[in-house]
Structure 1
Amino acid sequence: MLQTIKNNNYLSVLILFLVLVSCDSSRVFDKYSSISNGLWNKEDMVSFTFSVNDTIAKRNLFINIRNNNKYPFSNLFLITQMNFPDGQKIIDTLEYDMADKSGEFLGEGFSEIKENKLFYKENILFPIVGDYSVTISHAMRKNSEVNGIKNLEGITEVGFRIEKIE
């Protein structure tokens, strides 16, 4: 009897996991890279490689940032580079709000970790079939200082996501 209950519990957990994973029908690509010790060195670029087979459907691209309470700023500057299969590159400098005016971190999450899903590019078409890559690095610096912050504290993971537009 006890063994049957344990088997049912395992089966219930497996079914719940499969339901939660399968509910994300808009996901085309979704990966994360952990930042060692929550200290993102300005020289450490986070890279993601993905294949494109569809040059007709538009997509939305997101950068996902997980931060903890040690993150010392209300914004985040990122430098991104998208590399195309034919060698073309697009480099962007982006700024995102990480906290509201009262200092409360934005994003989802009940613990000290907040997850921010940040728009990178909207309604884009990938023009060429093949392998693309995106690299992301931070470009944070303190006000009136020329040199950037070497180790940015409080960023625990950086992710990249591509979604279908329904």
Structure 2
Amino acid sequence: MKQLSTFLFVIILLSVFSCDGQRTFEKYEGFETQSWQIQDTVSFTMDIPVPTGPSILAVKYNEEYEFRNLYLRYLTLDSLGNVIESQLVNIPLFENTSGKPLGKGFGSTFTRYDTLPLTSHKAYHRIQFLQYMRVEDLKGVEAIGLKRVKN
């Protein structure tokens, strides 16, 4: 009986410390072929009321990615589908000189987090991401994610 209660205590303790109380939304959309096609739009829709706070983009990539950076466009939309904001951003994925990955990870897979430079203070209901690298098949991108955290 004592072993069971100790086991349950450890499980509860781990679950409490593994939860991030600052996160209000987090979701990832993976690419089965580990490449981002130019016509593919990654979209995230949040429940109303929309959580407030910074929007953090996550790019999961591997060593097959051929470029130093990733240009992508994000569009924020309201609940009626009207565009609130549209902006092109440059996300560096590898160091300029050494070619070392800038993201966190191990092996050949890394995740780079970057805060989106939202200029509109209007709450958005949906956000869409499009790759702007001018290639049909952007190899090495495994997933795109979005995280909202409390201020």
Amino acid at match of 1:19: V
Uncovered stretches (5+) of structure 1, i.e. residues with no partner:
141-147
Residue type of the alignment partner of 1:154:
G
Structure 1-normalised TM-score? 0.76
Name the residue aligned to 2:145.
159
Distance 2:23 2:126 in 1: 17
5 Å-filtered alignment, 1:113-124, equals: 113-121=109-117
What pairs up with 1:25-104 in 2 under 5 angstroms?
25-53=21-49, 59-89=53-83, 90-101=85-96, 102-104=98-100
Q: Distance in 2 between matches of 1:28 and 1:54?
A: 9
AA aligned to 2:125 is Y
Which structure 2 residue ranges, 5 or more long, are not aligned?
A: none
TM-score (norm 2): 0.83
Letter of the structure 2 residue corresponding to residue 98 of structure 1: L
| Alpha-carbon offset, residue 53 of structure 1 | 2.5
Which residue of 2 is the match for residue 139 of structure 1?
A: 132
Percent identity of equivalent pairs: 23
Q: CA deviation at 1:112?
A: 1.4
Larger Rg: 1
Following TM superposition, by how much is the alpha carbon of 1:14 offset from its aligned partner in structure 2, in angstroms? 4.1
Rounded to whole Å, the distance in 1 between the matches of 2:150 and 2:27 is 16
How many residue pairs get matched? 149
Root mean square deviation of aligned Cα: 2.7
One-letter code of the match for 2:49?
Answer: N
Q: Is the 8 A contact 2:25 2:148 kept in 1?
A: yes
